[in-house]
Amino acid sequence: MAHPSQLGFQDAASPVMEELLHFHDHALMIVFLISTLVLYIIVAMVSTKLTNKYILDSQEIEIIWTVLPAIILILIALPSLRILYLMDEINDPHLTIKAMGHQWYWSYEYTDYEELGFDSYMIPTQDLSPGQFRLLEADHRMVIPVESPIRVLVSAEDVLHSWAVPALGVKMDAVPGRLNQTAFITSRPGVFYGQCSEICGANHSFMPIVVEAVPLEHFENWSSLMLEDA
């Protein structure tokens, strides 16, 4: 998860987030090179009194500064489109979970099971255990098996919400009357935190998302216990 004064992204916990991090570095390097070139030209123009008459009226340089930006845009657009298609790809999910946004909590329903569903509320500050994070801990976590394709159906019951987990590279709007879907694969076990990312009212800041990725055997034991309690 993020820590104070962090400048970069969170560590990736899914293949899609790894691709997004690589694309970010790729685009940032292009921006850095462009900024360096522009800064050099500005300094050169300001600091020299010499003038080259062939630069002031030159067909060749006009071709260069027209074609070069087009090539740069293509170098940015092609990887971006590739990642967009990867994020939309949903291939034979092993598990489907419906996440429903409410004011101001989330409810989860494991649609592959008959009676497996629960509400997830933020744990108040006074009830936190040592080591837990304020405003990020929930009383019920969304537990998923690691290295398995997971499909999440996202909707809302009242107002607009947004189901977002940065470490997984997932952000999907929850719209009343509309069912959106997204998918991800966790590449390692762990606990991943997110929050509602759409301003949804007075307690918008108090509806965290906690995703816990565990080995398949542990997930089966957890689901059995939840079904017994239900």
Report pLDDT digits (tens) over 148-184.
999 999 999 999 999 999 999 999 999 999 999 999 9
Structure tokens at 47: 């600091």
One domain, residues 82 and 166:
no
Last residue of a domain, one of 56, 88, 120: 88
Q: How far apart are CA 136 and CA 61, in angstroms?
A: 55
- In angstroms, the Cα distances linking 196 to 19, 174, 190 are 23, 9, 20
pLDDT (0 to 100) of residue 3: 82
Last residue of a domain, one of 60, 88, 116: 88
* Nearest Cα residue to 214 out of 167, 150, 145: 145
Among 88, 105, 127, identify where a domain stops. Answer: 88
Structural domain includes residue 8: no
Predicted confidence at residue 90, as pLDDT, reads: 85
Q: Are residues 151 and 197 in the same domain?
A: yes
Whole-number Cα distances in Å, 72 to 26, 27, 68:
11, 10, 6
Establish if 212 belongs to a structural domain. yes
Closest alpha carbon to 206 in 119, 120, 138, 122 = 122
Q: What is the pLDDT of residue 230?
A: 63
- pLDDT value at residue 55: 67
Amino acid at 152: V
User: Do 90 and 152 touch, CB atoms closer than 8 A?
Assistant: no
42 and 146 part of one domain? no
CA distance 17 to 228: 35
Number of domains present in the structure of the chain: 2
pLDDT, one tens digit per residue, over 9-22 is 989 999 999 999 99
Q: Can you name the residues that pair with 212 across neighbouring β-strands?
A: 143, 191
Collapsed DSSP state (helix, strand, coil) of residue 69: helix
| Structural domain boundaries, residue 117 | 95-229
- The one-letter code for the residue type at 132 is Q
In this prediction the pTM is 0.85
In a domain? residue 4: no
Say if residue 163 is preceded by a cis peptide, omega within 30 of 0. Answer: no
- pLDDT at position 56 is 66
Q: Which residues does the chain have with pLDDT short of 70?
A: 55-56, 230
Q: What number of residues does the chain have?
A: 230
Residue 227: the pLDDT is: 86
